Amino acid sequence: MNVAELTRDADRALANRDFGRAATLLEEAAMLSPAEMHLWMRLAAMRRASGEFVRALEAVHKALAINPRDFTALLMRASLLQKLGDSQAGEAWGHALAQKPASAVPEQLGQVITEAEQHYAAWQDQQDARMKAAMAAAADRADSEERRRIDRFRSNTVRRTKPYHSNPTDFCFPELTEREFHPRRLFPWIECLEAATDAISAEFRQVMAAERAELVPYVQYDEHVPMEQWRPLNHNRDWTAIHLLLRGERIDVNARHCPQTMSLLAELPQPSINGASPNAMFSLLAPHTTIPPHVGISNSRLVCHLPLVVPEGCWFRVGDERRFWTPGEAFVFDDTIEHEAANPSGELRVVFIFDVWHPDLSPVEREAVAALIGTSGMHGQSL
């Protein structure tokens, strides 16, 4: 018999609930046409229905040899390993979920996906506990910064988090340390900044009340520019800024209302680059507004946030670390690592933002960066 005849007879056997006969016929069909993945998958389903889990797994492996990333085949493989009590089952669930389509999946797979997520989470818990115990002696001797990195190493390994890397849109200086959030110890001025929170907040209120203060959309670019991720926020007043310094220029209509803030900025290690920086602003995010994931233009600078007005629930993510802003608690991050933000509340969120040199750069390297960017004509928007 040919493949068509064998599969037709297999369908008849299946209708009669003769799973063994259906499996035998499908195996013959698959052997005649070994590149047909759907035959191996049907055979695997018949073997599983007959309780022949090892033979079902063999058929699934034949299917995966044709398409190693097939979501359904990976789910079946993990399910069979789970039934067999195989130690590889937990990780196999993770491999399957990694191939879950972005689009809607068939309704009949919903329960299987839920099961997959539960089994995978349980496996991650077991792996995490085992690794944590193995690392306990080292973790006990670690300081808080070391312990945070050790914990992230473990979470990366069990796939609860993943590594993110600096990916500047325009200017990439080599061999700079990649950190999502940089440790406070690298910025001796950060406590002085935090101590000035009340004064900076008061000056923000002054500039907001000023008759001629300039409040502009944060994202502004020509419509023809291919920056699709920003289109919903382009020229949109849901995300606005009051600039004090913009690409190296003092915005006097705003800055004149903020003498203490400007005096503090003058003491900070901000990049001085013709046409590009320093930059400093009050960033205003409207209620129920999300800033989409994006990266900045140059890894030679870092960005500092000093939260001033933070309604409950407002968050900020860099890489795989999400933080909730807290008024008066500053942090420094690498904006060339993917980041995003959201204000899910019904009130305005305000953060004071400015740029500083990456601390790894030597004075002569800073000079070289300023020379290159300052003459490149590629200053772009300070995102």
Q: 81-138 pLDDT, tens per residue?
A: 999 999 999 999 999 999 999 888 788 888 889 999 999 999 999 999 999 999 999 9
Summarize pLDDT for 27-73 with one digit per residue, the tens. 888 888 899 999 899 999 989 988 999 999 999 999 999 999 999 99
Spell out the residues 6+ positions from residue 358 whose beta carbon is closer than 8 angstroms to its own: 173, 176, 177, 299, 300, 301, 302, 334
260-to-282, 307, 353 alpha-carbon distances in Å: 14, 17, 15
Residue 237: what pLDDT? Answer: 59
Nearest to 20 by CA among 1, 46, 42, 55: 46
Prediction pTM value: 0.84
State the virtual CA torsion across 324, 329, 331, 335 in degrees, nearest 10.
50
- Would you list the domain boundaries of the chain? 3-122, 181-376
Whole-number Å distance between alpha carbons of 43 and 81: 17
How many angstroms separate the Cα of 72 from the Cα of each of 33, 97, 360? 20, 10, 47
Pick the CATH number of 3-122 from 1.10.3080.10, 1.10.510.10, 3.40.50.2300, 1.25.40.10: 1.25.40.10
Residue-level pLDDT at 232: 52
Q: CA-based Rg of the chain, rounded to a whole angstrom? A: 29
Fold held by 181-376: Jelly Rolls (2.60.120)
pLDDT at 328: 98
Other C-beta atoms lying within 10 Å of the C-beta of residue 50: 15
Please report the pLDDT score of residue 7 as a whole number. Answer: 84
Mean per-residue pLDDT of the chain: 91
pLDDT, tens only, 164-222: 999 999 999 999 999 999 999 999 999 999 999 999 999 999 999 986 667 777 654 55
